[in-house]
Amino acid sequence: MSLFWRIFLLNAAVLMVAAVLLLGPVTVSTPVRPGEALAVVIGLVVMLVVSAVVLRIGLAPLGRLSRAMATADLLRPGNRLPVTGPAEMADLIGTYHTMLDRLEHDRASSTARVLSAQEDERHRIAQELHDEVGQTLTVVLLQLKRVADRAPADLREEVALAQEATRGTLDEIRRIARRLRPGVLDELGLASALRALGAEFPDHGVAVRTRVAGAPRTAPALDHDTELVVYRVAQEALTNAARHARAREVTLELRRAGGRTELVVTDDGRGIGDAAEGAGIRGMRERALLIGAELTVGPRTGAPGTEVRLHVHEPAEETDP
């Protein structure tokens, strides 16, 4: 029954009862007697209570919808209200769900385009760093080598320092290029790329233990976009542990469980506490949505620090007929 008819029939019932009482044996004297006044007050209280209960029950779905709209997050899709209540409320909740589905789809589509453009730009910058800047610094190193061979003894030490500075800059540029576009991911697969990623972070003062045993390429093989998302989530989790959590030890684990691939990154840092999620975590959530993965970020169980879990559902294996 619709909310309109519920309220209308309730008011009609109250008026009919009042009319029956007035036309019946119940009368009100002038002046009003105490017993008559008490009966009127009790009847009024009963009518108000019944009306309040009916309105409370009828408008409860509207309150739930209001709270759901206030806490809706497009980065955490799938939260839906049960379609209950009067017809108008059910239609309103259904319309809200349709709107939310459209917004989530549009958000995922726009995020996919943005992240694809970012990856293309990273690839271009990494290529230019490797081809242009890297080759230029390599030529500078060769020139400094020739200068060092011909320089007098009192200048060789300064030339050697310049060589070391140039060599260090070249190594740093190569490291940046690898982080921008991990070539090992395209060539050797996800497991090797995660091992290489973990091997880089001791330079940042963080000891990383990488566990990818039993997953040489995470069979059945994930597609390239999924592997890239897993790699970027691991990269962002390690970066957060090194920069913000002040962690000294991080565990990076890639495993298969229950027909899905699971990435787990735990650290012994100070944790996220009640702090709001920053751009890094929101970026991880956006990437997870692109491949339909489930991302959870929270405190470690029974120990200080943070745990990042990414559950990737593997594609169903095709069977021969």
pLDDT tens, 228-258? 888 889 888 888 888 877 788 888 988 876 6
At 318, the pLDDT band (50, 70, 90 cuts) reads very low
Going by pLDDT thresholds of 50, 70 and 90, the confidence category of residue 204 is: low
- What tokens were used for 17? 């009862």
d(CA 118, CA 171): 24
- Is the distance from CB of 93 to CB of 83 less than 8 angstroms? yes
| Cα–Cα dist 219/221, whole Å | 4
Query: Which residues have C-beta within 8 Å of that of residue 149, sequence separation ≥ 6?
Result: none
Model pLDDT, residue 90: 80
C-alpha distance from residue 239 to each of 14, 198, 277 (Å): 68, 11, 15
| Mean pLDDT score of the chain | 78
pLDDT at 213: 59
Q: 92-118, pLDDT tens digit by residue?
A: 888 888 888 888 788 777 777 877 787
Global pTM value:
0.63
Q: What pLDDT is attached to residue 8?
A: 75
Say whether pLDDT at 3 is over 70: no
CA distance 110 to 103: 10
**Residue type (1 letter), 145:** K
